[in-house]
Structure 1
Amino acid sequence: MFEAFRGSVAQWECDMMGHMNVRHYFAKCDQAIRFTALKLGITPQKSRDEGIELVITDQHVRFLQEQHAGSGLGIRMGVLDFSDKQIRLYQEIYNTLSGDIATTFITTAEPRRVADDELVAWPEMAQAFAAANQTEIPNYAQPRSLDLAPGTDTMTMQTIEELGLYESSAGAISGANCDVAGRIRPAFLIGHIADGVVNMTQKFKTRGFIDDPERRIGGAVLEYRLIYRYRPRAGSLFTVRTGLAEVMEKTNRFATWMMDLETGKPILSAASVGLSFDLDTRKVVAPPPEARAEMAAMMTPGLFI
């Protein structure tokens, strides 16, 4: 594998849980993708002159170890598959001080023309680079609770309303969060989902668990599957709708759809597995049976991404 990023965790990148917020893992991953694009022949100059970019379409992510302010981070990556239409990459964010793996990404990306979002041919050097940097997915990065099956193309705002999915966040796409082509960066799509987690927690909380005055209970995501359906431009309005898909002993599975309010088109769909943990001991907290039963009553049957 090759090195594609070096940096650290800033204090401002950490959230109320005391660790680096999920959006910043994706932001650092995005920087590594851009470094990889350079190696594939999609240079910054080529992007500016010809309007060609390496566009992420699908990701599977596992969060293995939380990172705190001051942690040094690196990203190494390799190529899993390469074809004339797409590349599948393996990336892992690791702590440069301890060597521990923090997060793993399985990322699918395509060479696209910004103007019309059409696929284009790879630069000449791409195939040779991909062949020289082949790797495999290690056991600790394999999908655990989420599969990588193709997503559905049938979700509409009407279906979302019929399913009764909860609006956890909504707003407008800021130009400050977009790339040079004016389209939102993936990290900020995740950021808008993360912005709604507090609202989602309030919606799906259970009596006597989250509100226990004797304990400071927080939450964290263990695993994500994301399908990027299209990248809206600055000024686009969105809504994020979430439903509870499954309640397990220590974890819960959610499904989330981000929709364009003007066009009704899906922007992003995501499946996630999360848990509760004690903010003081940093240990996982399993909800008692009565809390799980309460949450099970809030599940949305037939929820999908």
Structure 2
Amino acid sequence: MATPSESTSATPAGRASDSTELWLASMPAVFVLIWSTGFIVARYGMPHAPPLGFLSLRYACSIACLGAWIAWSGARWPQGRAQWGHLAVTGVLMHAGYLGGVWAAVKMGIGAGTVALIVGLQPLLTAVWVTWRGERGPSSTAGSAAHRLGKQQWLGLLMGLAGLALVVERKLAQGEITPGNLALAVLALLSITAGTLYQKRHLAPCDVRTANTVQLLAALAVSLPLALLEPEAIDWHPEMIGALAWSVLALTLGGSSLLYLLIQRGAATRVTSLMYLVPPCTAVLAMLLFDEALGPTVLAGIVITVAGVALVVRSPR
């Protein structure tokens, strides 16, 4: 415990340091709260806009906001062609691939809670890959004893897949899931998983504002040409405007920047372990806002999947 003299000598710099530590400690919780709303926003926006058209508009608005922030703050741009190339790859995977898959799947009728559950397998895939390959790069040995999957992780893997199969089978019977929207949801899952692992492996620390801008420029370059092929026009409904505003300010500027910072500061498995909290939160929100049914079978599948993912992520290597 600090003595009175120590307390009296506390400096403003020390208090600022404490505030910084508190913010860093709260970043994961804030990220989960923001990220959980992404699937809900998709449900609000998709009745009024084509998916890639909406996302292209979101990327363009986000780039404009970040550009103004960069110009005002004088943030430093990434150094070297390699870093720009790596950022472009992660932008295509984590924005164009992931968001494009999620929003297109929702447009094709899949529920917000269901797509959140499918994408929620990301920490399971990440943990299995990192455990198998290690996080230190190409020098890791895939079959070394230190990186083999343990019994608890295999159990968690099987639980996660069984729970997902339970939900998917039920939603297939109800007609909510089709081969098309399921394929798009799986594309989103693979994209966010690959993007997270690629970023952790290849990107050097750099300013989150300029890094995010490069990623969004790459995502826009991929999404915009495809958006021009969509026959549907954007309907500027209040729900669509609200979804766009939240997508730009909270999800892109807030959530994606937090994800970038969290990946920079922690191992990929610890970062993506936050994702297993998202599906149950999204399922409850979707039930309250959109009356998406949570029957016993679906609820059991969600619980089994989340428990399996948590078991994989929390098991020691």
When normalised by structure 1's length, the TM-score is: 0.25
Larger radius of gyration: 2
Kindly indicate which of the two structures has a greater share of residues assigned to helix: 2
When normalised by structure 2's length, the TM-score is: 0.24
